[in-house]
Structure 1
Amino acid sequence: MKYTIHFLIYTLITGILYSLASHHPIYEPFVINELNFDQYIPMIPQSVYIYLSYFFLLPVLILVARGKPGFSSVFYSAMACGVINVLIYTLVPTRLFERISAPEYSFLAYLQAKDTILCAFPSGHVALPLSIALGAFMIAGQKRPPEVTSFWRKISVFYFVWFCLLALSTLLTKQHFVLDVVSGILLAAIVVLTAMYYLYAKKQKKLLNVRTLGALVTEISLIALAMTLIIRYWHPAIFTLGIIFIASRQHALLALYHDGVHYLISSNKRLNDFIINCFAGVPFFMPVHGYRSLHFSHHQHLGTENDPEKRYLYRHQPWNYQALSTRLLLKQILGDLLLWNSLRMLWLFIKDRTSSNNDINLPVTQYYNDLYIQFMFLFAVIGFGYHYWPTAIMHVLFLWFLPYLTVTQLLQKIRSFAEHTQRTTDTDSGSCSWAPSWLGAFFIWPYNINYHQEHHRKSNISWDELPKRFANAEQRPGKTLIQHIWSVNK
């Protein structure tokens, strides 16, 4: 009964979202064009009956497999795929370039009259059955009793055949193009592999911080939504507020990236780096292994002349671990906001790395070959998108890199100012923690990164555990940040 209720709730939610996305898109949909393959695929109206079998995918699974071990893993990963699918339809509206009309009075003609040409990419008729087939296949591959693995192997084959028929029907009814089918396959593979890896990791008692994973998805979704609204309602005020908002969420991503630097997303180091590079390292062109080298050295030499942060982040800049005069603070802020300080920092780092007199020894950190694939995938997506939607891709790149290179850098620098004071004789070398207001937590200290002094004492505690572990930590009031960095008397 539980699974039936969950299926009904899932159907209600996805049905509402699909209806809104297909009839009231939040902005002008992206157009999905035909590929050469599509021109050779005929319309067969009778295939609509196979197409409609989509609605029986989950009910049949519940009916035949609900009592079997591993059912919940297959069932919920498939539903997650369906929910993500309609969220894509909602946040990234798409439509077919054109659709061939079905013969008059055919059932396919009736379907075309009721269904719009929106919600095309990726194809849910492909993603959902394949997600079930893949989930069943992975359960069958686990160490389970022979009768269980045999059952799931049969289910996997059954749903794979169903997937092939549905994929073919989407093309033969001209409800989708080949591109939609391919994207549906990719969506199913990504969702199921992620879900099954998490379940496997949990069973083997390997840490995967699901809260961090959820936070990463949330921040990327918020950035995508902000970009959508800016592009849809282009106006100077919306653009300005949108850039500030995107920068704040990029800064939040970098706070989570910091957890990835310390292997706090997963105890499987390769998976840890893969996840954080997907969400931040690659999009920011800052692979996690490279920054890890600098950051570990920062922990080791905190506040000394061999501290990379002190050497590169503040060198030849006004900030010197104490409040600045109005003139110097403006100089510092403008230098960060206009990219000058970042370029100078990069030049100093390159100069030091190539100099034989460099006295900062950075630890060698490992990277995985997955990184090459991730960058290749990013460039392939950009290139493919630019080929079909050049204006949209240029808008997205502009709205990603403009805040990242300006406001995001400023927010990071202000947080860095807040985290460090003049070095004293204490063991924390001048690091300090803050108690921010909601506004401070949104812009300057997202995801408990305000527990800076505590982090330097114990760097193996993830962001979501810090408030519990250090409930009585001594923290400065967030409202004193201005006095910390600005001295009106100077």
Structure 2
Amino acid sequence: MTATASNQARPWTAEIALRMRRLFLLKLGGTIAFTWIFFIGYFQLLRHPTQQPITMPLTALDLLIPFQPYTLVAYLSLWFYIGFAPGLQRNFAELVVFGLWEAALCLSGLAVFYVFPTAVPALTFDVSGFPGFAMLQGVDATGNAFPSMHVAVAIFTAMHVEDVLRRARVPWTLRLLNVLWFLAIAWSTLAVRQHVVLDVIGGAMLGMAFAVPSLRWRPRSDVPMARADPLPAAFANRTNL
């Protein structure tokens, strides 16, 4: 039986479990380290912009969207959600290529912040009394607005997760949940007043600009894992939980 036929014959639950177990520690540690490194650059540009940030304009849609403090949960869930895409990569080669594409996405966003610093309009009301918002304002100020990296990374993740779920023949309900999670994150950036509509559009365009080619130019996922994974056997055994 070929690798492709074997993958298709395997139940979707077994395929997803296999992907999640494979190189688990490497995926977990790599995602944490990657996020930490990104935040170093992000906060450096946030606190030391190269010029006076330009305030992003409000659109008519921005004026219609009410402040919804409870959506902060969806906003913060991004940092859990982004772990699914690398976590579902099937072998070391896929994981490395995925990481390189995501790094290119993040570097592009930071380059825009460096050349074109922006900020969202100042709030006209005090939100510090709402749970979690005092911390949010102290950590993630309203700079680095356009494009929304929250949305860019979320849509990049959503498209990669959808690709895996589709090829694994996962039920449509779980695929819909992935889409709804992305939409909740994107909506929350507006509802908690961290971004405006133009930021979200820019972030979605940036994320798709890297997601589409990254799904086209990547290692073949139907190559047998023992041949496709160049990790030493001892390391692979420690990370294959």
Q: Is TM (by shorter chain) over 0.5?
A: yes
- Which structure would you say has the larger RCO, counting Cα contacts within 8 Å and 6 or more residues apart? 2
The CA distance in 1 between the partners of 2:50 and 2:202, in whole Å, is 21
Task: Return the match for 2:33 from 1, 4, 9.
Answer: 9
The CA distance in 2 between the partners of 1:18 and 1:165, in whole Å, is 23
Residue in structure 1 matched with residue 189 of structure 2 by the alignment: 170
Residue in structure 2 matched with residue 191 of structure 1 by the alignment: 210
The CA distance in 1 between the partners of 2:157 and 2:93, in whole Å, is 12
Distance 1:153 1:121, change over 3 A: farther
Task: Return the match for 1:130 from 145, 155, 179.
Answer: 155
Residue in structure 1 matched with residue 178 of structure 2 by the alignment: 159
Is the Cα–Cα contact under 8 Å of residues 136 and 152 in structure 1 kept in the other structure? no
The alpha carbon displacement at 1:131 in A equals 0.7
The CA distance in 2 between the partners of 1:71 and 1:62, in whole Å, is 9
The CA distance in 1 between the partners of 2:181 and 2:103, in whole Å, is 17
Instruction: Map 1:265-344 onto structure 2 (within 5 A).
Output: none
1:5-41 C-alpha deviation (Å, 9 max, x unpaired): 3323312221111111111011222221101111111
The alpha carbon displacement at 1:42 in A equals 0.8
1:48-67 C-alpha deviation (Å, 9 max, x unpaired): 1221111112334455x244
- In structure 2, stretches of 5+ residues that fail to align are 1-24, 223-241
Q: What is the SS of the residue equivalent to 2:169?
A: helix
Residue in structure 1 matched with residue 75 of structure 2 by the alignment: 51
Is the Cα–Cα contact under 8 Å of residues 22 and 116 in structure 1 kept in the other structure? yes
The alpha carbon displacement at 1:70 in A equals 9.0
Q: What is the SS of the residue equivalent to 2:77?
A: helix
The CA distance in 2 between the partners of 1:192 and 1:17, in whole Å, is 22
Distance 1:157 1:164, change over 3 A: same
Amino acid at match of 1:9: A
Q: What is the SS of the residue equivalent to 1:199?
A: coil
Tell me if 1:84 matches 2:108.
Answer: yes
Cα root mean square deviation, aligned: 3.0
The alpha carbon displacement at 1:140 in A equals 5.7
Give the TM-score taking structure 2 as reference length. 0.69
Say how many residue pairs are matched. 195
The CA distance in 1 between the partners of 2:149 and 2:53, in whole Å, is 17
The CA distance in 2 between the partners of 1:193 and 1:131, in whole Å, is 9
Is the Cα–Cα contact under 8 Å of residues 167 and 181 in structure 1 kept in the other structure? yes
Tell me if 1:95 matches 2:95.
Answer: no
Tell me if 1:33 matches 2:57.
Answer: yes
Is the Cα–Cα contact under 8 Å of residues 51 and 169 in structure 1 kept in the other structure? yes
Amino acid at match of 1:134: M
Is the Cα–Cα contact under 8 Å of residues 78 and 150 in structure 2 kept in the other structure? yes
The alpha carbon displacement at 1:190 in A equals 0.6
Task: Return the match for 1:118 from 133, 136, 143.
Answer: 143
Amino acid at match of 1:29: P
After TM superposition, the runs of 4+ consecutive aligned structure 1 residues lying more than 6 A away are 152-155
Is the Cα–Cα contact under 8 Å of residues 84 and 161 in structure 2 kept in the other structure? no
The alpha carbon displacement at 1:90 in A equals 2.7
Distance 1:156 1:130, change over 3 A: farther
The CA distance in 1 between the partners of 2:53 and 2:28, in whole Å, is 34
The alpha carbon displacement at 1:160 in A equals 1.9
Is the Cα–Cα contact under 8 Å of residues 54 and 125 in structure 1 kept in the other structure? yes
Is the Cα–Cα contact under 8 Å of residues 151 and 204 in structure 2 kept in the other structure? yes
The alpha carbon displacement at 1:102 in A equals 3.9
1:255-308 C-alpha deviation (Å, 9 max, x unpaired): xxxxxxxxxxxxxxxxxxxxxxxxxxxxxxxxxxxxxxxxxxxxxxxxxxxxxx
Residue in structure 2 matched with residue 232 of structure 1 by the alignment: none
Is the Cα–Cα contact under 8 Å of residues 86 and 98 in structure 2 kept in the other structure? no
Is the Cα–Cα contact under 8 Å of residues 94 and 119 in structure 1 kept in the other structure? yes
Distance 1:33 1:58, change over 3 A: same
Q: Based on CA coordinates, which of the two structures has the bigger radius of gyration? A: 1
- In structure 1, stretches of 5+ residues that fail to align are 142-147, 204-490
Residue in structure 1 matched with residue 239 of structure 2 by the alignment: none
The alpha carbon displacement at 1:189 in A equals 0.9
Residue in structure 2 matched with residue 210 of structure 1 by the alignment: none
Tell me if 1:180 matches 2:204.
Answer: no
Amino acid at match of 1:116: A
Is the Cα–Cα contact under 8 Å of residues 85 and 161 in structure 2 kept in the other structure? no
The alpha carbon displacement at 1:152 in A equals 9.7
Amino acid at match of 1:113: G
Amino acid at match of 1:77: W
